[in-house]
Structure 1
Amino acid sequence: MAKASTSVEAKKPNIFMRVGLFIKQIIDEMRKVVTPTAKELFLWSLAVFIFVLFLMALVTGMDFGLGKLSLWVFG
């Protein structure tokens, strides 16, 4: 069915209202943020550090292994 020609379309809010709404939404979301305790912060930092060390070892091993493989194949 066609839209009735007498319906009034919703007016788009101006830029200042949109910016104000955006800032209000940011503040509302920031109120939901929970600060970790010192123990949680330490444990998460330790987990990230161990994960980064693992990835470094994995990439180093792949680099060394693929380097040796390419020397064996081509060299």
Structure 2
Amino acid sequence: MTTIAKPFIAIGCFIRQTVDELRKVVTPSVREWAGWIVGVGVFVLLLMALATGMDFGLGKLTLFIFG
């Protein structure tokens, strides 16, 4: 009987610990959300500029070498 009950005890313990951890989560404020959105937007724009510059530069280099 104990071998059957142990998985259910383990699952119950896992669910209890998960709920306890979820209670510790702090929701960010609107100001924090705005800061993250701006930061991510700037980062994406920089990566886009880097990829565009590399595409343009490598295209020109390829045309110079083989063209």
Normalised TM-score (structure 1): 0.70
| Superposition misfits of 4+ residues, deviation over 3 angstroms | none
Displacement of 1:14 in angstroms is: 3.1
The Cα RMSD (Å) is: 1.9
| Partner residue in 1 for 2:66 | 74
Q: Which range is displaced more, 21-30 or 41-50?
A: 21-30
Taking the aligned partners of 1:20 and 1:71, their CA distance within structure 2 comes to: 65
Structure 1 counterpart of 2:36, from 24, 28, 44: 44
Identity across matched positions, percent: 56
DSSP 3-state at the match of 1:54: helix
Cα distance 1:36–1:73, how it changes in 2: closer, same or farther (>3 A)? same
Structure 2 counterpart of 1:33, from 15, 25, 28: 25
Gaps of 5+ in 2: none
Gaps of 5+ in 1: 1-10
Write 1 or 2 for the structure with the bigger share of helix.
Answer: 2
Taking the aligned partners of 1:37 and 1:29, their CA distance within structure 2 comes to: 20
Number of positions where the alignment pairs a residue of Structure 1 with one of Structure 2 = 64
